[in-house]
Structure 1
Amino acid sequence: MAGEQLPDQTGGKARFDGATIACVYALAMTVIPAALVIKGLPMSLTPGVAIGLLMGVLWFLAQMVSTLGVAKGRNAARTALFLFVCSQLATYGYATYGYLPGDELAAADRTLITVMAVVAVGIAVTDGVRGLARIDRVLKAMIVGATFMAFVGILQFMAALDLTQYLMLPGLRANGSMSYVLERSNFRRPAGTSGHPIEFGVVCAMTVPLALHYALRGLDHGGQTKRWWLCLAILAVASMQSLSRSAILGLAIAAIFIIPAMAPKRRVKALWGMLGFLIAMRLMVPGLVGTLLSLFTSISVDPSAESRRRAVERAGKEIPEHLFLGRGLGTYLPEKYGWLDNQYLGTLVQNGAIGLALLIFLYLAAMYCAFRARLASKDPRIKDLGVTLAACIAVPSISSATFDLIGFAVATGYTFLLIGIAGALWRTVQEQPGGIPPLLTPPAQRPGRLRRRQHRDGPTTRSGPDRPRTRPDQRPEVPA
């Protein structure tokens, strides 16, 4: 995954490495409309999935040598990704061992390839993005790509102008409808270049903490700030305009992570900034804030909430039949069995209890890497980035309970990119000079406990410097 020149840990440039391909992947996922797939292939593969598979091949080849600068060895994120993909392969083998209808078998094949691609992205980023400078490069590319998608969505919402109609690239074809604008409560509901307004809102929400991080870093450590404040504003506005409960919930979760980690003065400014943003949105788009509020206050009578409650009943009939490995990834077709709109529930149905446990473990392992890097490093940039990554990963982990995350390519691709970046950040901290401090310091031996232990063991005597100690009630052996 590395080119001729290894990126150094302090910000040296590299001609071509894992970060370069990760940037291309992030831009491909957000700039190219989600409905476009590669022509001439028997299976519908998006350019993002193709790049993800390529990253997996390059990672595998780079692991065979030791001259390309790719990291090797254990890492919590890498281990979690490996276990997750093993559970997916086990489920696929279990499901295809027996009979599957043709439509479900095709869906299982397509889903397996998609999952393999995003897992390859996560592992390749964990091992192939080396140093804080290269991590910054990937994260900034993610912000730029998400901002472009958000800008397209804002135009869809405000002016009914859909730029996706003009993004048909050579070598690609449309897979289904190219309409990216829905409606809710007399508002246009944009999707940008993603596949659905919910996915659009969640991707914007999980990128908001990154834009805020680089805007604040510019204030604290020097550098450009205006561009990141502009990206932050576009992403925040687009999250609101998605009219999605998942996006609003994601923004709230991110704030819960980030605001307590701020300095007291900055924390007050952040709270005032959030209040000012809500007032501005209320003035700019009358009725928008009230509509978003009603999504939560009227949830008991909301049709989508009722659909999710019925989904639990439908899933309850499927789970006992395939408890451990599930019925097969991708085989629970929404058009055939109904929408679940809950990734955890869908994973339990399609991948079983083992798959669900490893999906949760994947999120937790990524957050562990982010927080462990924050605790172990003395660099304020890494400490801030650690809590930022944890906030970003918390958005899809919570939103997975409100929509089918893995069913949407952009949200899934960004989630696994963030998981890989969390692993790469932890590797960067582990490689810092002087090593890393232990997570828990050894407990101090209290004098009272030490005296009780000596009293319990009894006094010791020593008859010589090299002779073993004996208690008074033990006689030394005397030869007969």
Structure 2
Amino acid sequence: MSLLAGSRVRPVSAETRNFTVRHGGVSAATMLTVYLVLLVAIPSNVTISALGSLGRPSMLWGLVLLFWWLLSRLQARDLDARPVRQPLRWVFMAFLVVVLVSFAAAMLRGQPADQVSPATTALLRLASWSGVLLVAMDGIRTYSDAAALVRRLAIAGAALAAFGLAQFFSGQTLLDWTTSIPGLAFEATEAATRGSFTRASGTAIHPLEYGTAVVSALPLAITAAVNKGFRTTPSRNAGWWWLAVGFILLASLVAVSRSAIIGLAVAVITLLPAIPTAYRWVIGVGGAVLAGAVFALIPGMFGTIVKLFVGASDDPSTQSRTAALARVPEFLSSSPLIGQGFGTFLPRYYIFDDAWVLLTVELGVLGALCLGGMVSAAIGSAVWASGHSPFQDTKSMSRAFASCLITIAVLFAFFDGLSFPMSAGLLFLMIGLTASMRSIAAADEVLTASMRYTARPELPDVATELPPARRASAGEA
């Protein structure tokens, strides 16, 4: 029996909604949850001493996920079911081919000794991200698993936001304790500041990475709050999800980061059309009240944020990004299609504060198009799932994952997101989860069709066969 269900096997019906597919006692949702904990809870600066740069726990677990997925491919059996097509799979394969061709070409050209190791490490990082993406895409095939991951991602984002708030108000990183753990190496850094305020970084390496992780969790937290945690039975604790939303909003406002504010706007704008009108007012009014409270209670915060945008043209980081665009043709001239080689373009040549530009330099036009195609294919799968599933909760999750992915993709234009473990890991995790909604929606279609044509003849509508928590969803669909 395979470890996780794959594309050659019909997805388990989403409407055994509390049922989780388990093979060998472990589900894909559990494996991805372990990855999420390692990615967010353990500081990104922490590595296993004996392994050096390869010793980040989240990276090692990603390689475990890749092996787990490969083993499942070897064990998968063909069943009499039409497979669910995943356009993402083909674009992802093209991306891997471009990376390998670019790496081979770079090695054949010859590289300085200090560039070979970073390039090899970059391939291993990509292998780790691939494991995360593939397990998410092929392993998350039921509503219950998807809902569990929505909740866990929202909780992770809220916890990271709360820790960042503690750093902001204390003015300290609060991570010094990690230096005393035997066998681990920790690159201690001072808390960054902007103006008179401390820039929180949470467990991330940089405040920009922290802001991306926190803001990208906002659509999931809002969706969990609107849908009361996606529980099939009413819960008295449903209101706690709004507290998670509040933590994320507050952390985004006091992050003293232009990109965090932009990401906040992108997340809200892309999600609002997908939630009921009443909740749009709750988020709009509640966000305005929270922003007003922040500006009133923290002297100088309003002026600092205004200066971030009013004086953006004179900001060194903005000038650096603008100047970087003019240098791209120079670095691409020798190999415009496949670039300089993944992981070979070191900061000593030039520092690009833009993940998309740096990827274009390293992998050429083809590499950038493939990664953009992966994001587009995943978002397209979410749109497909939203249009084909008759259940409102599946639609909500699909739109929330798509909003998260759009937010991360936009924020990658403001820093080199693929060079940071947390932001890169979240990108590939969100790509995989967004694509997985296509399989879940396909199962929903099979479910409703089978119930409509095999139910008792006297039942006029499939909704009467659904559990009470699902009838409302089917009626809205």
| TM-score range for the pair, normalised by the shorter chain length | 0.7 to 0.9
* Aligned equivalents of 1:53, 1:171: Cα separation in 2: 24
Looking at structure 1, the residues matched to 52 and 83 of structure 2 have their Cα atoms a distance apart, in angstroms, of: 35
Contact map agreement 1:198 1:242 (CA 8 A) in 2: no
Per-residue CA distance 1:373-417 (angstroms, 9 max, x = gap): 111111110111121111100111111211111011101111111
Matched residue, 1:347 = 359
- Which of 68, 72, 76 lines up with 1:66 in the alignment? 76
C-alpha separation in 2, matches of 1:220 and 1:148: 20
Query: Any conservation in 2 of the 1:56–1:124 contact (CA below 8 Å)?
Result: yes
Q: Partner residue of 1:387?
A: 399
Find the counterpart in structure 1 of residue 298 from structure 2.
285
- Identify which of 2, 15, 28 aligns with 2:38: 28
Q: Which moved more, 1:211-220 or 1:48-57?
A: 211-220
Which string of whole-angstrom CA distances, capped at 9 and with x for unpartnered residues, describes residues 434-457 of structure 1? Answer: 3799xxxxxxxxxxxxxxxxxxxx
Task: Confirm or deny: 8 A CA contact 1:184 1:243 kept in the other structure.
Answer: yes
- Number of the residue aligned with 1:444: none
The answer as to whether partners of 2:136 and 2:432 remain within 8 angstroms in 1 is: yes
In structure 2, give the amino acid aligned to 1:200: Y
Secondary structure at the aligned position of 2:227 is classed as helix
SS in 1 for 2:146: helix
Shift of 1:20: 0.6
Unaligned runs of 5+ in 2: 6-10, 450-477
**Which of residues 134, 137, 142 in structure 2 aligns to 1:126?**
137
Unaligned runs of 5+ in 1: 438-480
Q: 2:157 aligns with which of 139, 143, 146?
A: 146
Alpha carbons 1:130, 1:428 under 8 Å: kept: yes
| Cα distance in structure 2, aligned partners of 1:141 and 1:262 | 20
TM-score (norm: length of structure 2): 0.85
Structure 2 Cα separation of the partners of residues 101 and 60 of structure 1: 34
| Contact 2:360–2:367, Cα closer than 8 Å, also in 1 | yes
Q: CA deviation at 1:180?
A: 5.5
Secondary structure, counterpart of 1:130 in structure 2: coil
Residue 252 (structure 1) aligned to one of 248, 254, 265: 265
| Selected match of 1:200 from 210, 229, 232 | 210
- In the alignment, the residues of structure 2 paired with residue 420 and residue 213 of structure 1 have an alpha-carbon distance, to the nearest angstrom, of 19
C-alpha separation in 2, matches of 1:150 and 1:265 = 26
Asked whether 1:160 is paired with 2:168, we answer no
- Partner of residue 248, structure 2: 235
Report Cα offsets for 1:185-216 as digits up to 9, x if no partner.
11111111001000000110000111111011
1:251-307: CA deviations, max 9, x gaps? 111111111233333323322122112112212322223312221111111111111
Partner of residue 404, structure 1: 416
Pairs within 5 Å for 1:22-421: 22-41=32-51, 43-66=53-76, 74-167=85-178, 172-175=183-186, 177-179=187-189, 181-218=191-228, 222-223=234-235, 224-334=237-347, 336-421=348-433
- The structural deviation recorded for 1:44 is 3.0
**What per-residue deviation string (whole Å, max 9, x for no partner) do you get for residues 140-199 of structure 1?**
222222333222211111012433222458565225x32252011111111110010000
Query: Between Structure 1 and Structure 2, whose CA radius of gyration is higher?
Result: 1
Matches of 1:170 and 1:427, distance apart in 2 = 42
Q: CA deviation at 1:107?
A: 1.4
* Secondary structure at the counterpart of residue 199 of structure 2: strand
Match of 1:457 in 2: none
Deviation at 1:87, TM superposition (A): 1.7
Partner of 2:464: none
In the other structure, the counterpart of 2:456 is: none
**In the TM superposition, what whole-angstrom CA distance separates every residue of 1:309-328 from its partner, at most 9, and x where no partner exists?**
22223323111221000001
Aligned length: 433
CA contact (8 A) 2:379 2:435 kept: no
Structure 1 residues 2 and 289: CA distance shift in structure 2, 3 A: farther
Task: State the alpha-carbon separation in 1 of the partners of residues 291 and 123 from structure 2.
Answer: 41
Amino acid at match of 2:3: A
For 2:470, the equivalent position in structure 1 comes to none
Which stretch of the first structure deviates more once superposed, 213-222 or 275-284? 213-222
3-state SS of 1:195 partner: coil
In structure 2, what is the Cα distance between the partners aligned to 1:219 and 1:427?
21
Q: Choose 118-127 or 288-297, whichever is displaced more.
A: 288-297
- The answer as to 2:19 corresponding to 1:12 is yes
